[in-house]
Amino acid sequence: MTGMARHALTVTFRNQGDKDVDVSVLAVQSVLGNFAPRPERLLLAPTQTAALDNMFSANATSFEAVQLTVTVRSSGQTETVVVSMRATERIPPVPETSPARR
């Protein structure tokens, strides 16, 4: 691999209600890949925020913004939302590696 771009996606949820919310994250999809969200379940108290583990993509496409489709279930209802994410920080490319010499 030589100089492949890496992207890290961070998804954060915030409970804006006045009761605890139990959210199951079923899918996270984008042109950068389809991701297995971890943790799969978040329990949020009122005003609490929690983030999924960073999701990494080795997709070589550069972007300033990408559409991210997130499917969640809470209180027995499933909802899919599309959010626009903007690049906030550049992650350096993976350095070029050369074969080991014997």
| pLDDT at residue 2, as a whole number | 47
> Structural domain tally of the chain?
1
CATH number for the domain spanning 49: value is 2.60.40.10
Specify which residues 78 forms β-bridges with: 73
> What is residue 5's predicted lDDT score, i.e. its pLDDT?
59
- Locus of tokens 């279930």: 73
Which single residue is written with the structure tokens 């550069």? 62
Asked if residue 52 has pLDDT above 50, the reply is yes
How far apart, in Å, are the Cα atoms of 48 and each of 17, 19, 79? 10, 11, 20
Q: Contact, 46 vs 20, CB < 8 A?
A: yes
pLDDT score at 4: 56
Q: Confirm whether 101 is domain-assigned.
A: no
Residue 97 resides in a domain: no
Q: Does residue 92 fall inside a structural domain?
A: no
Of 19-23, 37-41, 55-59, 79-83, minimum mean pLDDT range? 55-59
SS3 at position 44 = strand
Cα–Cα distance for residue pair 38/64, rounded to 1 Å:
25
pLDDT band, residue 100 (cuts 50/70/90): low
Q: Which residue has the higher pLDDT, 79 or 59?
A: 79
Domain limits for position 77: 7-86
Instruction: Answer whether residue 15 is part of any domain.
Output: yes
Residue 91 forms part of a structural domain: no
Determine the pLDDT at residue 82: 93
In a domain, 93, yes or no: no
| Peptide linkage before 39 cis (omega within 30 of 0) | yes
